Homo-oligomer: A and B are copies of this chain.
Amino acid sequence: MEVSRPLDALNKARDKRVIVETKGGKQILGKLKAFDIHINVVLDDAEERANGEVSRKLGTVFIRGDTITIISPAE
């Protein structure tokens, strides 16, 4: 992957499914639709996952950047 700035990596992940992990220990999976410099993120078709199982359907979810620790691809 060729990225020179961290947000380039998020840009390449747009419209792909990602896993967003939060300070509170949650995992939220969904299609990355939007993000900004604060790393506020919007996921589509999102669901919360606990212990590898879907625990809750969230639909279109706005996640505040301040609560996010890691964003990685959901293969």
Contact = CB atoms under 8 A, between A and B. Distances in A.
Question: Copy number in this complex?
Answer: 7
B69 A24 contact: yes
Interface of A: 1, 3-10, 13, 22-25, 28, 33-36, 39-42, 44, 46, 58-73, 75
A39 B42 CA distance: 13
B72 A60 contact: yes
A4 B3 CA distance: 20
Contact of A36 (B5, B42, B65, B75): B5
20 contacts: A1-B60, A3-B34, A6-B34, A7-B40, A8-B34, A9-B33, A9-B34, A9-B62, A13-B62, A23-B67, A39-B40, A39-B64, A58-B72, A59-B72, A60-B73, A61-B70, A61-B71, A64-B68, A66-B66, A67-B70
